[in-house]
Structure formats: structure tokens, C-alpha cells
Amino acid sequence: MADRFRVTLAQLNPTVGDLAGNAAKARTAWEEGRKAGADLVALPEMFITGYNTQDLVMKPAFHTAAIAEVEKLAADCADGPALAIGSPWVEGTKLYNAYLILKGGKIASRSLKHHLPNETVFDEVRIFDAGPLGGPYAVGNTRIGSPICEDGWHEDVAETLAETGAEFLLIPNGSPYFRDKMEVRFNHMVARSVETHLPVIYLNMVGGQDDQVFDGGSFVLNPGGSLALQMPVFDEAYAQLDLERTDDGWRAVEGEKAHLPDAWEQDYRVMVESLRDYMGKTGFKKVLLGLSGGVDSAIVAAIAVDALGAENVRCVMLPSEYTSRESLDDAEAVAKALGVRYDYVPISEGRTAITNTLAPLFEGMEPGLTEENIQSRLRGLLLMAMSNKFGEMLLTTGNKSEVAVGYATIYGDMNGGYNPIKDLYKTRVFETCRWRNANHRPWMKGPEGEVIRPNVIDKPPSAELREDQKDSDSLPDYPVLDAILDILVDQDGSIADCVAAGYDRDTAKRVEHLVYISEYKRFQSAPGARLTRRAFWLDRRYPIVNRWRDPS
């Protein structure tokens, strides 16, 4: 009986739908394991299809092709270590989320996911069938249990595997980031190791998919919950894990333990990686954005440069007569600090033409919000024209505070293909700018040092659509607004909760009203990086037509 077992952990970045490309990554990982003398090479959940596939995986042609790709992979990887890979699996009329073990040129074993998550970004109950509680599979004479992702968060699957002879747990995951999630993962995995008295291997994927970023951070625990190995967050990486048989059962040999960054760095990394992968996986090479001289467009420009490089970012100032000299100077300073192309496209002439065109219809009516929005929509039109002409994807720059209350012009400044700061409240935008000025990391393609000058961060925010306009003319001050939004949106709280926290009831009711009436705007808004467990899109799905208001 073997007293040592080596697992190659492959923390990699698949692309949804790229079956051949994902299989190629799997073959490379298998070769790495073969060179390292591994007994088993392990890949994350649903690796062959990429994750989260949503309804795509239900398409018979797609899941049939995915399984065929795995069968071909098994034949290619016949002579060497076993290969474990996440894949859809069909039995009769049922479709499963499965973990397939490839040995000897065929699919030798499979585990089927039992607990199907049906919350936040996951809809697996409507996509997959639930597999039964099962036993371990064998690689050589070693028995391994593989609860799949959500199964690892419930004690019954792990306990059943332990009771039926599993010698350690290998848990493949497609677990996307939200702020401070690593602590949640550790807590669940420690519980599994304590309950089963087995080593626990938590293997997660990396990479961006639409709004989600899979942050890796794979780790290994010995019985009782002691950390034996920690892989880095966000980076593709391999780790060679050795397990040794002792008188007390299998134990993981301690390996490298990567440093885990704080929440500010992880949030920023998510925004960079989500944009980088969204671009790379959709085929876009370059972006452009309107650079207003304000804090939101400045941080989006910095994120874009860090993700893609300055040579792939175009910033455009589109001034009107309401644009201050201060904003012109601030925008230019940011563009120069980041090293991007900076175009100057005044909107005055176009605005005059539109005003004259509408004058017969608007005769006798006072100028107001309509005329303000014309400016924003004209900017959107010009930016989209440049996007079409130059083949550069337009980024939109609205923060979560604005997205929540609809403080944005639909078909104007909401235009764009992606929004890196969609889940970042305004108060965190300010602090994120300060963090970026003070920090630089090897994964950033932008320059070191101060890239957003302090005046951009410190001046009162303004849309500059009329004389002396300030955001505070239309909204509560951002610290108050964000605190109320955190209660109503992130905590799913009530008006009474806002009042109990010390906020004015009328202000809270006004914010609630703005949130509800802005649903139609969010429905048409660009996707953006998910930073919290209550991001706008899949985490929070509300009807557009909705007359209910909290009576408390």
C-alpha cells in the first residue's frame, strides 16, 4: 500500500465555451503533473466548459461536445497520472455538474454534485439535476472524496465520503470573489476537516467571466484545520502537494503559503482582472472612455491602464461651457500621469445644432433637465462614434451609488460595454484612488506613483451640466447616501433599519424611491465587476414595474 501520494493542483483560468482551449490547458497541467511524478492532476469545477455557463450548458449540442472533449482528453492522457476535471455529465434524461476522473484512456469514475446553489449569482437548481450522496473514487489504492464546490459547504456530503472510506477530500470549486469571502471559505473548510478528521484540499479556479472574478487562493488543511499550503489569489499557478500516510491517517506535507492581500488590494485587483479578461475573452484589444476631470472617470482610466497598458487606452475630454477650467486641468493631468492618448472634443457646436433643431418643439418652455441630459447624450453619441470608428470598446464610469439611485443619463453617460466600478460605492471610489496612488504591484501595467492628483479626489463632485452644479444638489451627501444604500441594498434592510441607524426617515424614503424607480436603467446598464455579495445584476433581481414601498 502506498505511503505517499502526490497531487498536482492546477489553479487555472478557463474560458466559457472554449472547449478545445480549456482542454489544451488541461493537457498542459497533466504534463506538468507527469513531469513532477504526480499520481493525480486536479482541475477545478466545470473546467472543460468554463464557469459560470448559465443556461448555455443546458443546450444539448454544447454539453454533448463538452463530454466528447473530455473523452478525447482521457485518450490523450492515458499514459501517466490520473486527471480530475469538472464537466457536465448526462445520465438518461438528467444533466449533472460532475467531477470526472480520467485514467487509462477513459473516464474511470465520476462524482456528481449533490447540493445545487440557488442564490446570488447561481441558478444551478434550474440547470442541473442533483446527484445522490456517493462514495469515494480510487486512484491506485488511495480513496479520494470530491465534494463539488457547494457540497463542501454542507456537512452531509463530506461525512458520507468519510464514512465510506475517503482518505482525504479534494474539493473542486468555481467560487467567485466577493469582499472578505476567503474567511467564509476557510470557516467552512475548517469545519469539514474537523468533522471528518481528514485533510481537505480546496481547489479554486481563477479568471474573469462577465461580472464575476474567480480569485483562486486554493489551500490545503490538515485534520483539525491547520493550514498546510496556500496558493496565491488571482494568479494561474501549479502546486505539487504531497500527502503522507501516518499512523493517524493521511497528512499533507506543508508547502508554500502565499501572502493574501487586504480587501482594498483584492477589490482593485478584481476590477483590473475583470476588465482584462472581459476584453481578452471577447476579443477587444483597446478601450476608450470620457475623462471628465472627476474621480470616477479617473479611477476607471487607472484601472484600464493597469489592465491593458497605456497604449490600449484612449481618454476623451468632451467639454461644454459648464466645464470648469479646474476639470480641464485635472483631466489632462490624469491622462498625462497615466501616459494615455488624450483627445479633446468640445460638444458646443453639436449642442447648438440639437438645440436649434428642437427649438420649434420646445418653444415657450423653460430649459431644465432635458437640456442637461442632451449634453450627456451628445457625449455618449460622440464616444460611441469613436468606439465604432476605432474599434475600441467604450467603458462607462458610473459608481454603485449612482447606479443605485439612477444618477446617470440613460443613452448618455451610461453608454458603454463594461463598467469596472459598477459595484464600488462613491465613498470607496475616493479611498480606492488614494490606495492606487500609494500602491503599485507587478500585475499593474500602469506607472508607479501618483496617477490621480489630490484635487481630483478632494473637490466636490459635479456632473457639470449646469452652472455651479454639485451632486449634493440632487442627492444626500455621499457618506449618508452610501450608508443608507448599504442598509437597503447590501443588507436588504428596511426604512426602519435606516432610522434605527440614525438616518432621517424622509431621506431614507427618498433614497428608497430613487432605487426602485431606477430599476429600468439598471436593466439596460453595462455589466461590471462584482465586488460584493449584493451587486446589481444576478445578485439582486427586482421587477422593473413595482409599486411597493416600505411602509415602515
Q: Which of 45, 69, 150, 273 is catalytic?
A: 45
Give the whole-angstrom CA distance, residue 235 versus residue 211: 18
Does the annotation mark 366 as catalytic? no
Does the annotation mark 113 as catalytic? yes
Cite the beta strand spans of 185-246 per DSSP E: 200-204, 206-209, 212-215, 219-221, 227-230, 237-246
471 within 8 A of 482, measured Cβ to Cβ:
no
274 within 8 A of 421, measured Cβ to Cβ:
no
In a 3-state reduction of DSSP, which class is residue 399? coil
Give the whole-angstrom CA distance, residue 497 versus residue 492: 10
The tally of CA atoms less than 13 A away on the side-chain side of residue 42 is 29
44 within 8 A of 146, measured Cβ to Cβ:
no
Give the whole-angstrom CA distance, residue 60 versus residue 469: 55
Q: Other CB atoms closer than 10 Å to residue 33's CB: what's the count?
A: 26
Residue located via cell numbers 438528467: 94
| E strand or H helix that includes residue 330 | helix 325-338
Q: Other CB atoms closer than 10 Å to residue 367's CB: what's the count?
A: 11
Write down the H helix ranges in 88-165: 124-127, 155-163
Does the annotation mark 149 as catalytic? yes
300 within 8 A of 421, measured Cβ to Cβ:
yes
- Residue 59 CA to its chain's centroid (Å): 24
Q: Which of 25, 103, 113, 426 is catalytic?
A: 113
How does DSSP assign 357-383, residue by residue?
Answer: HHHHHHTT----HHHHHHHHHHHHHHH
Residue located via cell numbers 483562486: 216
Tell me, what amino acid is at 217? G
- Name residue 536's beta-bridge partners: 540
Closest CA to 549 of 523, 512, 521: 512
Phi, psi for 196 (deg, rounded to 5): -95, -15
185 within 8 A of 202, measured Cβ to Cβ:
yes
Q: Between the CA of residue 149 and those of 10, 185, 345, 360, 465, what are the distances in Å?
A: 16, 10, 50, 63, 49
Q: Which of 77, 149, 315, 433 is catalytic?
A: 149
Closest CA to 189 of 150, 162, 163: 150
Residues serving a catalytic function are 45, 113, 149
